[in-house]
Amino acid sequence: AMFSHVLSPLIKQKTSEGHCSKVAAHYNELQECGLAARSQSRIFFLRNFNNWIKSVLIGECLEKMRKNRRDIGVLDLGCGKGGDLLKWKKGGISKLVCVDIAKVSVQQCSQRYGDMKSRGHSNEPLYAAEFITADCTKEVLTEKYKDPENTFDVCSCQFVYHYSFETQEQADTMLRNACERLRPGGYFIGTTPDAYELVKRLEASETNAFGNDLYSVTFKKKGDYPLFGCQYDFNLEGVVNVPEFLVYFPLFEEMAKKYKMKLVFKRLLPNFSKEQSYKIRSTKHC
């Protein structure tokens, strides 16, 4: 989804305890196994597909941004180990701030950036970068930036926002962090699981779970789907096994209005990929 920003707002931070430490511990423990091992994985194509989706979304957003600005600043909310660092380089941005709750991931992300910098070609200058470890559902990032006046053109939140829907306060704080430092005209882009599809598959299942030999999704119970804290456990071939929360998109869209955000684009991943492949084909024929 892509939200466009109109003006910056200001609200008060609230805190609560929850599953965040489990999420951080899980991602901290994940090993960075390198490209060779990753290509052996049974979810290699899924990873590639997700990466491609992100590349297209990021590429299109930066293209729009470049029409008005030369120096593009980006906030990567839940950056993980830095899987998108190269995409930002290709997009020709000037400044990147990477934030994640998992300290080890942030260190690896920073290391990866350092490696890119030392490998860099002189004709392709690399953007400046800053790395922050923070729980974006509980901490206000404004207080953590090196430059307190930091503003961004784009906030990217890829496969992360669903961790915040544990409570309204957490979802709101994450949204605040994503949007309050966006310049007017800036974009909030992201990818998150589709709550409708998850519930549809659950309702079609005879148990509280569904999946196949690669993944499983387990809910506490069927038929009761609170707006916040509707938890399910997601397991993907041992890669992810952490609590996540349903994001009811119409509510998310409504909440974003508080931060002067307007929904400009939303697609289900399969539809988005079909549309993009048509574009590729039609470009080839031109």
Q: Return residues touching ligand SAM (CB under 6 A).
A: 20, 23-24, 27, 78-80, 83, 100-102, 105, 135-137, 158-160, 163
- Nearest approach in angstroms of CB 103 to ligand SAM is 9
Distances (CA, A) of 109 to 5, 32, 76, 89, 174: 27, 11, 11, 14, 20
Distance CA 68, CA 106 (A): 31
Between 78 and 186, name the residue whose CB sits nearer to ligand SAM.
78
Between 32 and 71, name the residue whose CB sits nearer to ligand SAM.
32
With H, G, I as helix, E, B as strand and everything else as coil, classify residue 259.
coil
- Nearest approach in angstroms of CB 20 to ligand SAM is 5
CA of residue 201 relative to chain centroid, distance: 23
Residues in CB range of 62: below 8 A, 6 or more apart: 72, 91, 92, 93, 154
Measured in degrees and rounded to the nearest 5, phi and psi for residue 108 equal -65, -35
Between 155 and 261, name the residue whose CB sits nearer to ligand SAM.
155
- Nearest approach in angstroms of CB 158 to ligand SAM is 4
Bridge partners (DSSP) of residue 53 are none
- Nearest approach in angstroms of CB 128 to ligand SAM is 20
Between 159 and 210, name the residue whose CB sits nearer to ligand SAM.
159
Q: Which residue is nearest to ligand SAM (CB)?
A: 80
Between 4 and 137, name the residue whose CB sits nearer to ligand SAM.
137
Between 131 and 163, name the residue whose CB sits nearer to ligand SAM.
163
Label residues 72-104 b or e (16+ Cβ within 10 Å = b).
bbbbbbbbbbbbbbebbbebebbbbbbbbbbeb
Tokens found for residue 260: 């002067």
Bridge partners (DSSP) of residue 158 are 191
- Nearest approach in angstroms of CB 123 to ligand SAM is 28
